[in-house]
Amino acid sequence: MDRVVSNQGSLHPNPGAEHVDAEAVPSISPEGASATATRRANVPLDLRILDYVTPFDRNLVCPICHCPFIQPVRLDCDHTFCRDCLSRAFTTQTADTKKCPSCRASSSFGQTQTVPRFIIHMIDELVVKCPKHDVGCASQVRRGDLQVHVDLYCSYSEVPCPAVDCSLTIPRKDLGERCLHSKVICDSCDVEMLEKDVNEHNRKLCTKQTSTCPDCQESFTKSALSDHERRCPQTTIRCLGSNIGCRHSTKRVDMAQHQNSCALASLLPAMKAMSDRMDQQGAALDLLQRKNDILEGSVSNMQSLLANAALPLADASAAATSPHSTEAAPFDSATHHLLSLHESLREELDRVASSISEVDARASMMIINENLRLKEDLAHTNAVIGSMRMQLQWLTSARLQTQPKPAPGAVTSGAGPSVRSGPSSPPPGASQPPIRRLSDSERTKL
């Protein structure tokens, strides 16, 4: 038999399981029911601790808290964050100019922009478990409707007690015509508790009340029954390889024999190691993806800065090339135009360089061939000159040998020949040797 402890601390017998002493129950005024609705505590939920049922896109995750966006805002550099996360990130920065946590571009919290509405709709469509699922609520609702579910419909949400003079809360499913915050004592274990916790105590926590195991028919206390059910040898369990295809189920005492011969159970450690490795690789891939996103954001920021600085040059280049490229497709931005112009100039420079190299090689071959021909002509000319020199020497020598010698002592004068004899003149009948000129001694025989 349960006993009720009044607010003044006196004990009262409880002849019925649901009977409560009138003095222990706070009175309920006629306005209590209407006042209950106004005194319900609509505590905002922490959306970062929710359990998501449906998988979500990684692009909907905040780079700071790594949870789906909560009140997302967008900076000028197009990076998106949760409003609270961005506010805390800017608070930790000491510089006057705040920087984007992803690309480090200068920004300001006052310059944030709202994200497109379809992103908010995608976030609100994510299905989550009720925050009270650990105490019994099995509801799965859209995240956008979760606050309404907890405030109005969840049977396990805490609501103010309907009694006017009671400031405690009770689950919505226990909301009735009287207050359940009177203290009672369990007849079995003499534990004092609130009346609203009696059912939970009798079902799980009482150390004196016993229950029978449905598998082995042994009796255990309520607190020890759940632990026994996890180790009962007569409980029917499934094979360890059930996750990878084994459908065998038997009692726990006989499962060891089956697992020794089950191929799928033998493969389970290897499959688990492979799954863990894949999870690690997936986490590493996600990290690389985030780094890649940061780098792409930095490149986009640099391109935007270059585009703003190169607008006059881009306009001049477009005006200069427009007569020759009227059929070209329009460019997305000035940066793309500059990049395409730079690429075309580089290709043109490569073509000119290859043409110059070809002309240079061709000219070199022509010069080499011409030099060979000139060398051959020069050698032939030298040979002809040498032959003519030899013939000239031979003719000169023959002419000198056949030239008549003058009379001894004869002297040629202007009136006529005169002959002068001397002691050195040879006799008339003697032959005169050829006269060698002084220049002949300096010649070289070829």
In the chain, how many domains are there? 2
Question: Considering the domain boundaries, does residue 188 fall inside one?
Answer: yes
Residue type, 120: I
Please give the order of strands across the beta sheet that includes 192-194: 11-13, 3-5, 183-185, 192-194
- Which stretch of DSSP H or E encloses residue 160? strand 158-160
Question: Considering the domain boundaries, does residue 363 fall inside one?
Answer: no
Judge if 178 and 290 occupy the same domain. no
Judge if 111 and 21 occupy the same domain. yes
Judge if 140 and 265 occupy the same domain. no
Q: Give the pLDDT confidence score for residue 321 in this predicted structure.
A: 54
Q: Give the pLDDT confidence score for residue 386 in this predicted structure.
A: 93
- State which of 297, 314, 344 marks the end of a domain: 297
Q: How far apart are CA 154 and CA 356, in angstroms?
A: 83
The answer to whether the CB of 63 falls within 8 A of the CB of 286 is no
Which CATH number goes with the domain that contains 9?
Answer: 3.30.40.10
Question: Considering the domain boundaries, does residue 380 fall inside one?
Answer: no
Q: Give the pLDDT confidence score for residue 427 in this predicted structure.
A: 52
Judge if 280 and 157 occupy the same domain. no
Question: Considering the domain boundaries, does residue 412 fall inside one?
Answer: no
Judge if 49 and 174 occupy the same domain. yes
Judge if 167 and 280 occupy the same domain. no
Judge if 60 and 114 occupy the same domain. yes
Q: What share of the chain is helix, strand, coil (3-state, %, to 5)?
A: 50, 15, 35
pLDDT in tens, the chain (446 residues): 344 433 333 333 343 333 334 334 444 443 444 344 434 445 678 888 889 998 888 888 998 998 999 999 988 888 899 999 988 888 888 767 788 888 888 877 667 788 888 889 999 999 999 998 888 888 999 999 998 999 888 888 888 887 777 888 888 887 776 777 778 888 778 788 877 777 777 777 777 777 778 878 787 776 677 777 778 888 888 888 887 788 888 888 888 888 888 888 888 888 888 888 888 888 888 878 877 877 777 777 777 777 776 655 556 555 555 544 444 444 456 677 777 778 888 888 888 888 898 898 989 999 998 999 999 999 999 999 999 999 999 999 988 888 876 666 554 444 444 444 444 455 555 555 555 555 554 555 54
Judge if 291 and 200 occupy the same domain. no
Q: How far apart are CA 110 and CA 75, in angstroms?
A: 9
Question: Considering the domain boundaries, does residue 216 fall inside one?
Answer: no
Q: Are strands 417-419 and 410-412 parallel, antiparallel or unpaired?
A: antiparallel
Q: How far apart are CA 124 and CA 2, in angstroms?
A: 47
Strand partners, 52: 128
Neighbouring C-beta atoms of residue 14, cutoff 10 Å:
20
Sign of the torsion angle spanned by Cα atoms 204, 205, 209, 213: positive
Q: Give the pLDDT confidence score for residue 5 in this predicted structure.
A: 39
Q: Give the pLDDT confidence score for residue 445 in this predicted structure.
A: 53
Judge if 38 and 119 occupy the same domain. yes
Q: How far apart are CA 257 and CA 253, in angstroms?
A: 9
Strand partners, 256: none
Give whole-number Cα distances, 132 to 70, 147, 199, in Å. 20, 12, 18
Q: Give the pLDDT confidence score for residue 235 in this predicted structure.
A: 84
Q: Which two tokens stand for residue 134?
A: 């650990």
| Alpha carbon 309 to its chain's center | 28
Judge if 195 and 246 occupy the same domain. no
Q: Give the pLDDT confidence score for residue 375 in this predicted structure.
A: 92
Q: Is 415 exposed, middle or buried (0-12, 13-18, 19+ CB in 10 A)?
A: exposed
Q: Give the pLDDT confidence score for residue 136 in this predicted structure.
A: 82
Question: Considering the domain boundaries, does residue 88 fall inside one?
Answer: yes
Q: How far apart are CA 178 and CA 323, in angstroms?
A: 90
Q: How far apart are CA 380 and CA 378, in angstroms?
A: 5
Judge if 151 and 253 occupy the same domain. no
Question: Considering the domain boundaries, does residue 410 fall inside one?
Answer: no
Question: Considering the domain boundaries, does residue 142 fall inside one?
Answer: yes
Q: Give the pLDDT confidence score for residue 8 in this predicted structure.
A: 34
- 112 CB-side CA count, 13 A: 21
Strand partners, 360: none
Q: Which two tokens stand for residue 371?
A: 């030099």
Q: Give the pLDDT confidence score for residue 442 in this predicted structure.
A: 52
Q: How far apart are CA 179 and CA 195, in angstroms?
A: 9
Judge if 184 and 67 occupy the same domain. yes
Per DSSP, the residues of 132-154 read TGGGT---EEEGGGHHHIIIII-
| Alpha carbon 304 to its chain's center | 20
Q: Which domain holds residue 269?
A: 236-297
From start to end of 14-146, where are the E strands?
72-74, 80-82, 98-99, 106-107, 113-114, 127-129, 140-142
